[in-house]
Amino acid sequence: MNFQKSWKDNNFKKTWHQHKIGKTPGTKEKITWKTVLFNPLTLKLVGIAFLLFLIFSVGFFVWISRDLPNPNQLMERQISQSTKIYDRTGENILYDIHGDEQRTMIELKDLPNYVKWSSIAIEDKDFYHHKGISIWGIIRGVVWQTIRGQRVQGGSTLTQQFVKNAILTSERSVIRKAKEWILSYKLEKKFSKDEILQMYLNEIPYGSTAYGVEAAARRYFNISAKDLSLAQAAVLAALPQAPSYYSTHRDALIGRQRKVLSNMLEQGYITEEEEEKARNEEIKLAPPQANIIAPHFVMYVKEILTEKYGEKTVEQGGLKIYTTLDLYKQTIAEEAVNIWWEKNKDPKNEQSTTLGAGNASLVSIDPKTGQILAMIGSRDYFNDEIDGQVNVATAPRQPGSSLKPLVYATLFTKGFTPNSILYDVITNFSADKNKPYEPKNYNFKEYGPIQIKKALGGSLNIPAVKATYLAGLDAVVSLAEKFGYTTLEDKERFGLSFALGGAEVKLLEHTNAYGVFAREGKYHPIAAILKVEDASGKILEEWKPEEKDVLDQNVARMVNDVLSDNSNRAYIFGEYNTLTLPSRPVAAKTGTTNDYRDAWTMGYTPSLVTGVWVGNNDNSKMKSGASGGSSAAPIWNYYMKKVLGDTPVEEFKKPEIPKTGKPILDGEVTGAPVKIDKITGLLATEFTPPELIEEKIYREHHSILYYIDKDDPLGPAPTNPGKDPQFEEWESRIQEWAKKLAASSTDSSIINFIATGTAPTGYDDVHLPENKPTVKINQPENNSVLTEKYLTTNILAEAKRGLAYVRYYINGNLFIEKSGNFFNLDRQPIDFLSGGYHNLKVQACDDAWNCAEASVEFNLVAPDEPQRDFSATIAWPVNGLALSPVDFPANIKVEIDNPAGVARVEVILRQGENNQTLGQFYPAGQADNAFLWRKPEPNQYILYGKAYGWNGEIKTTNEVPVIVN
């Protein structure tokens, strides 16, 4: 029978069966699994395979065992070598994990029983029943994890843990695990269980160079292990699983201590009363004594390395670890936090500030690489009163509004723009009317129709929740995960409150995520380590740049443009705020939780991103008003200003704002322009004075859902907007707001690029022909001759509404204004005029600016000519003065020599080649004059003036350079 040919013919099964039962081809026989499994050929193949496996296994274990330590020489120790952690230059040692490990031997009989049982309960409840290894542990920790493609982990008995920590390394591999099994088995053959347990308790690392339970008891509680309480013993039993982590994360340590106590109760080692007493016992840990620079960063690095190489290698392996820390920036960060603390320290509470905050954290990252440049996890690492060893930089906290840029970035990817209009009116976003969700703005105001750039810049809450709905929470969280956030899995828990800080984030990840905006959409993984060398100089790992595009470049630029434009936030934070830096563009965003538990400031330039958190480690509330802008921003501002110093100024690249063709998305005002009379608020007419006419554009007020489909915003307008589950609530609230606004007699606080309310239908009924005054000049008569330099008038003027004032102009310049019933001039001096013809104009007006004019010419025949020479000088501001927003409005002071000769003065502002007339004033013979200057845009300007004489002369003042910040 040719089996090879039959196999190639894909007829092996049939041929096999026919061969074994002696049938000829064509004979039909039913094939069952028993037929195949128990036929002689199958049994032979299985036997051969088992024999080969047995031979291989024996050979493998012989090969593995060839260089294993002798259990009889177990206690002969290798000399530990110093591990050093450096800053990024490699010249400054941040921490020297030297060979001063604290190790004091103690016998098992001298320890309280609960010290022994606490370790067994949490680490290996079957310790006294196995032979050094656990078959189920092997299956779960090695075989099953390997099948699933995961790293080898877990399943270790207490004996194995001793072998791993005292003899072998913590390398994660099957071979190392096999060595561990063999040694554990040999150890169990050589020593008794109590001897192994005693060695374990004297060898195991407990963190902070404390090896063994006696050293750990003295390190953490300043007592001997003989004197440990049950609660303290449970704390020590909790440490060995991850000493570097648990020794610096108190909350996690106490949580695991509770697990130890629970296990001891469940396994019958303690009673319920003993467990309850231990749970309620206050745990006071002794502060660390080591001399560490940047301790939170150092411990963060140590945790990373311990996870990779094991506690023993990191503590005793003589590693050289070169980190990313910039020691100069770290020093400035510490200085910024200390200055903030000293400035705001509460004299009534030495562990808190006047803001009610006891702690602060700062992270600064190079967004081009993701490398950590500075890290402060808590204000004082060595202060137990504030839980100083807790690294807030890596702890989840609620970010408040500092997550809003992520929401709006997601919205921009769907086609919205910074100009798109959302309505900021109080809205219920909950489908359950009995449990409404109606977020309010920080200042409890409503701003009506507002552009996204203003909503984000001013950190308005209501538009942000609408933006979350429009963007889609799934899309927002998906983008967040691409930005590197690892704490946002439970989306259902925070829902639409995501934009207001309903989720928790880590300051470290939050800061690095803002780096994506700084680098225009490119994500770089967080890096803390540049290089690790072992004791022989071999490089174990070295940082390599990684970069991934996670956000459209133009979308990132749009976010940068909004956050770096101070005018977008000035209406809330004021022109002068701590989110700006002098002479340098910077993007920034604050965040504050509703209950003032967390305050944040996140800000960046294209090359440096820094995040600051302020609050309390125990999550207690700060005082009302302790916002990100008032508490965290001063730290951020001090650090950024000093670190950036005189480094080259970097500009954010301007985005291209797309035109969608949809007015609501493009921020365009719909409707026709309407000319309004300022006095009456009605439609202007041909009789309305030009200076009283203003132009407004009125629009109908509708929710954005009226115009766009949120799932296809650039597509056709919805034919039935009511299908959207949020439409009815959004629309009804907007209509209620519009009605209230229309009925209000006062202007709203809207950022007014759109007129509010309904356009008036009536016409100006004040500026009518019948209301226009009449005026006639009886004296002087037209072309009369004056021989003295005095002017006497006889004016006949009337007004239906009554006269408000009469103004006299000579040669087009205001000469004098008279109000009341006595408006004639009686021998008014005009000695500033030269001889010849002059024009006299009289203007009579009522209280509504209805005016009438009349004019005459007169010939002045004077025996002497007036002094025509005059000059004008800008006395303030002085040359090169730098003005900040708090200096405005400001009085420009103009000094005039021979003021009688000056009819009027124009004040002019020049920027580049552009000249802007700020206004004019009439000195009326005064030598010292002041002109009110409203705040211009920040820039460098030249300020000057022009003085006009009564007889046509023009003199230019001095030019004054002025810087407006």
User: Are the CB atoms for 260 and 122 separated by under 8 Å?
Assistant: yes
Token pair in block for residue 515: 């780096």
The whole-number pLDDT of residue 154 equals 47
Over residues 369-406, the pLDDT tens digits come to 999 999 999 999 888 788 888 899 999 999 999 999 99
Q: Flag whether pLDDT at 14 surpasses 60.
A: no
CB under 8 Å to 658, separation ≥6 — which residues?
A: 415, 417
Which amino acid appears at position 542 of this protein? E
The whole-number pLDDT of residue 323 equals 97
Q: Flag whether pLDDT at 895 surpasses 70.
A: yes
User: Angle 553-564/507-518 helices, nearest 10 degrees?
Assistant: 110
The whole-number pLDDT of residue 32 equals 59
Closest CA to 119 of 223, 218, 196, 191: 196
Q: Flag whether pLDDT at 1 surpasses 90.
A: no
Q: Flag whether pLDDT at 209 surpasses 80.
A: no
Q: Flag whether pLDDT at 445 surpasses 50.
A: yes
Over residues 138-148, the pLDDT tens digits come to 555 554 454 44
SS3 427: coil
User: Angle 404-413/553-564 helices, nearest 10 degrees?
Assistant: 140
The whole-number pLDDT of residue 20 equals 44
Q: Flag whether pLDDT at 165 surpasses 50.
A: yes
356 — phi, psi (to 5°)? 85, 15
The whole-number pLDDT of residue 668 equals 81
Of the pLDDT bands very low, low, confident and very high (cuts 50, 70, 90), residue 89 is very high
Which range has the top average pLDDT, 371-380, 686-695, 806-815, 867-876? 371-380
Q: Which of 311-320, 368-377, 602-611, 756-765 has the lowest mean pLDDT?
A: 756-765
d(CA 288, CA 488): 33
The whole-number pLDDT of residue 870 equals 86
Over residues 225-282, the pLDDT tens digits come to 899 999 999 999 888 888 878 877 788 889 999 999 999 999 999 899 999 999 999 8
Closest CA to 614 of 600, 633, 595: 600
User: Are the CB atoms for 893 and 930 separated by under 8 Å?
Assistant: yes
Over residues 30-69, the pLDDT tens digits come to 555 556 555 676 666 666 665 665 555 545 454 444 454 4
d(CA 248, CA 388): 9
Token pair in block for residue 381: 């690492």
Q: What share of the chain is helix, strand, coil (3-state, %, to 5)?
A: 35, 25, 40
Of the pLDDT bands very low, low, confident and very high (cuts 50, 70, 90), residue 831 is confident
d(CA 836, CA 451): 60
Average pLDDT score, the chain: 83
Q: Which residues of 704-742 are buried (b: 16+ CB within 10 A; e: fewer)?
A: bbbbbbbeebeeeebeebeebebbebbbebbeebbeebe
Q: Flag whether pLDDT at 21 surpasses 70.
A: no
Write down how long the chain is.
965
In this structure, the strands spanning 320-323 and 529-533 are antiparallel
Q: Flag whether pLDDT at 437 surpasses 80.
A: yes
Q: Which of 99-108, 445-454, 482-491, 614-623 has the lowest mean pLDDT?
A: 99-108
Q: Which of 137-146, 498-507, 553-562 has the lowest mean pLDDT?
A: 137-146
pTM score of the predicted model = 0.65
Q: What is the DSSP letter of 852?
A: E
SS3 226: helix
Percent of the chain with pLDDT over 90: 43
User: Are the CB atoms for 602 and 514 separated by under 8 Å?
Assistant: yes
d(CA 594, CA 243): 36
Over residues 653-663, the pLDDT tens digits come to 999 999 999 99
The whole-number pLDDT of residue 613 equals 96
Mean pLDDT of 892-920: 87
Choice between 173 and 425, residue whose per-residue pLDDT is larger: 425
Over residues 936-961, the pLDDT tens digits come to 777 888 999 999 888 778 889 999 99
The whole-number pLDDT of residue 562 equals 96
Q: Which of 49-63, 412-426, 514-528, 586-600 has the lowest mean pLDDT?
A: 49-63
Q: Flag whether pLDDT at 85 surpasses 70.
A: yes
Over residues 181-192, the pLDDT tens digits come to 677 677 777 788
Over residues 212-235, the pLDDT tens digits come to 888 888 888 888 889 999 999 999
Percent of the chain with pLDDT over 70: 83
The whole-number pLDDT of residue 705 equals 94
Q: Which of 125-139, 324-338, 682-696, 781-795 has the lowest mean pLDDT?
A: 125-139
d(CA 320, CA 659): 55
Closest CA to 620 of 351, 336, 346: 351
User: Are the CB atoms for 180 and 157 separated by under 8 Å?
Assistant: no
Choice between 617 and 412, residue whose per-residue pLDDT is larger: 412
